[in-house]
Amino acid sequence: MGPLIPNGIIPEDWNYIIAILIGLAFGYILEASGFSSSRKLAGVFYGYDFAVLKVFFTSAVVAVIGLYYMDYLNWVDISQLYVHPTYLWAAIIGGMIMGVGFLAGGFCPGTSLCAVAIGKIDGMVFTLGLIIGIFIFSESFSALEPFFEGSNLGNITLVDTLGISPYWIIFVFTIIALVAFAFSDWVRSKVKKVFY
């Protein structure tokens, strides 16, 4: 968990306990934010509710600014953070499939589990479909592996790819978030009369 276990601040035995506590807190926040409702989640695609866009943009901006402040204060070494490898075409196609599923079902994997936890039938049906999809992908992975591995770009970041300072990327990303917030409020003001 972050720099706590590698630096010996807490024992490694606490790793899973902390992960469970963070997962429970995340699930509670999702439910408290109304993210167990497929109508609320799908609202971003129809223009009547942009809570999902605002919450996830805000969390991304806060996380990246927080990480770089902690790096500045020598609490975290950014260069030591794990960067998941980029499988370009697999990510693009997987993102498109997930987007269609999100639009059709009104859930993403995390929010569907949140809906299951409070007993929503649509969340259960979506999660069953998710499990079936995972099974099909797992069983057919040997056939898909050449395509999957063929687009492996390694552990790249925007900083590596663009060759510019991370602070400029953070600044531009923050501006994009603010523009997205303003644009989503404008769209919602035009659409809400139709849906409410």
Residue 127 has pLDDT above 60, yes or no: yes
Residue pair 52/181 in contact by the 8 Å Cβ criterion: no
Count CB atoms within 10 A of the CB of residue 105: 20
Which parts of the chain fold into alpha helices (H)? Answer: 15-32, 38-46, 51-72, 88-105, 109-117, 121-139, 141-150, 158-162, 166-195
40-44, 157-161, 183-187, range with the lowest pLDDT: 40-44
Q: How confident is the model at residue 194 (pLDDT cuts 50, 70, 90)?
A: low
Give the angle subtended at the CA of 103 by the CAs of 131 and 133, to the nearest 5°: 15
pLDDT, residue 138, reads 92
Q: Whole-number mean pLDDT of the chain?
A: 87
Residue pair 105/112 in contact by the 8 Å Cβ criterion: yes
Residue 177 has pLDDT above 80, yes or no: yes
Count CB atoms within 10 A of the CB of residue 49: 23
pLDDT, residue 2, reads 59
Q: pLDDT tens for residues 78-88?
A: 888 888 899 99
pLDDT, residue 48, reads 86
Residue pair 64/170 in contact by the 8 Å Cβ criterion: yes
Tokens representing residue 177 in the block = 């978030």
The share of the chain scoring above pLDDT 70, in percent, equals 95
